[in-house]
Amino acid sequence: MGTKVILSFDVEHDCPPFAETRRGMEWGLPKVMSLLERKGIRGTFLFTGRMAEEFPELAERAAKRHELGCHGLEHERFDRLNTEETRRRLMEAMRILSDFGKVVSFRAPNFQFPDEYYPILREVGFLVDSTKAKHKGWKKGVTKIGEILEIPATTTSIVTRLPWVIQERFHKKFESPIVYIFHPWEFVRMPKHLRPDCWFGTGDGAFKKLEALIDYHLKGGAEFITLRDMVGDPNV
């Protein structure tokens, strides 16, 4: 079996909650979508409901040519919300995103989603979650949490902004399915008054490294799939 690679993008405004701009949405995301399409591969674009409202043409493009998923309503911290508020916000996000196509995949902002809230995901219509993260200490691979298929994230987006010779070592060791995380704002130069992880390695360099990463896995015979593909049901 070849390696399976999932390129996932948390589609949000610029480095929340530290900035309020949308430069990544305006400049970064269209460029990234075009790159993937040129390479003949699909990504998983997990939009906040608000970004889908503000950039409907990008949400539509994700739904038609890639996978459109959900990253909350407005990049809220679900661990700070009660179940009622969590349900309300997820339903609202699902209502907005469903206008563009069927949505089954979710990742919570800041990797924060209490285990006892997973039944709400199923209730709202999600089948897949990718909030658990190996770089945050998650030890299991792909598993079920209640009725939700959990496909843990493999690595933080800081790794994919390191110099290529350094990050290449990581890619060789990652276990399939490899779930990478990117953000639209990484592909525009972010200002240095923000936290270092908001600006380190951002801009054209990040874009070139994404292309190098895609080429590396294409050369190695990897299969690029989406989170939804992992459900393994052709009707989903």
Minimum CB distance to Zn ion, residue 71 (Å)? 6
Q: What's the half-sphere exposure (Cβ side, CA atoms, 13 Å) at 104?
A: 20
Residue 137, number of CB atoms within 10 A of its CB: 7
Nearer to Zn ion, 10 or 150 (CB): 10
Q: Which is nearer to Zn ion, 109 or 152 (CB)?
A: 109
- Number of residue whose CB is nearest Zn ion: 10
Q: How far is the CB of 75 from Zn ion (least distance, A)?
A: 6
The binding site for Zn ion (CB under 5 A) comprises 10, 12, 109
The amino acid at 71: H
Q: 150: which strand partners?
A: 129, 143
Cβ nearer to Zn ion, comparing 93 with 222: 93
Separation between Cα atoms, residue 75 and residue 88, nearest integer Å: 14
Answer positive or negative: Cα dihedral of 178, 181, 184, 189: negative
d(CA 208, CA 186): 11
Nearest distance in Å: CB 12, Zn ion: 5
> Least distance from C-beta 59 to Zn ion, angstroms?
16
Comparison of 12 and 222: residue with beta carbon closer to Zn ion: 12
